[in-house]
Structure 1
Amino acid sequence: MLTQVLSVEIRVLARQGMSIRAIAQQLWVSQLKAWLSPLRHDASGTVVRFETAPGKQMQVDFTIIRRGNRPLKAFVATLGFSRASYVRFFDHERNDAWLTGLREACHFFGGVPQEVLFDNASTIIRERDAYGEGDHRWHPALLALAEEYGFRPRVCRPYRAQTKGQVERFNGYLKRSFVTPLAAILKQAGLALDVSTANAHIGPWLQDIANQRSHGTTGEVPAIRLQQELPHFLPLPQALPVGPGTTATARPMPLESLQHPLSVYQDLLEVNV
């Protein structure tokens, strides 16, 4: 059965330069991987760390910074190979926020990965296994974006969050290293961290701190490994979106002020992260 999802995937693979024979083999392998996924543990029962080749995969997620009547949420994208990350803040996580984040992340990284790995958010995936094992019903707008940009959407299995562990670990780092320090500094001035302020400051932090640090898993700098990924990316569409920090303005804040140990901020602020 040629579903809409399968039709989009065939066109995406064709755009990536694959032959009909290779596409058929790729789709068969994808279905086999979905069937084998529950078995991806070693003999001792330890989960095997999930790694990908350069340009292969981008993991995306929404993480909650603050709930209540003034919600603050972050779209986070992390490349599987380099661990380079992109962040955009919103006050919701509706479908348009996902699509905006995906577009901006691809342009921030300078290319399109072959596949994007999602969790099971209802705004992204309408029904798991709707057309058979591993063949899901996706949101139509996401399928349109996938075809436009040329990536294949993937979803991690329920209760298998370790498959998307790279972006999950960055979520914690984002809250510790960026959100809590910035919120504490703003509180001293009688201000609260909101979407526009977070987006105004996230760009320099990503460029100069997050993607320049020595990554705890790879032991290398994400920005340097990103250069190895660039030749493996698919080309970007012509239209360029506007990302955080490119239109918003903010008072200059030394990046060093976001680099103190968390204990420095404990007397200033308690943030629910």
Structure 2
Amino acid sequence: MIRNGEFYMIHEMRRRGMSITQIAEELGRDRKTIRKWLEKREPEKYRRTEQPPSKLDPFKEYVQQRMEEGCVNARVILEEIRARGYTGGITVLRLFMQPLRPVVRSKATVRFETEPGYQAQVDWGQFSVQWLEGGLTP
């Protein structure tokens, strides 16, 4: 669909004597499209297409209720609504849940620093070292 501005521009270019091919090349449109729009006296009105009902629509109230109760895990809610007859996927559910999720205000852990030599950390993992002489030491 050509926007109103383009519609009037096409008609103005034609009024100035440009050919349909020249207008099409200038605007990067097909000649048939330009010809079709030149035949019209005014631009088409915008028509909003109606969205088909979502598979999630019957379950949205239940999802909101579960989120208010504190369950924000999409997989858990997906299993619950599938047991109630939902046949859609998890992506639609996650997109619905995203704006309803609570905002995390603080980090889960708080970092703190100590003076040098005051605190030590140890990794209890095991590893082996091979010395240049060829002996393997634990």
After TM superposition, the score normalised by the length of structure 1 is 0.14
- Which structure has the larger Rg? 2
Structure of greater relative contact order (alpha carbons < 8 Å, 6+ residues apart): 1
After TM superposition, the score normalised by the length of structure 2 is 0.23
The structure with the largest strand share of the pair is 1
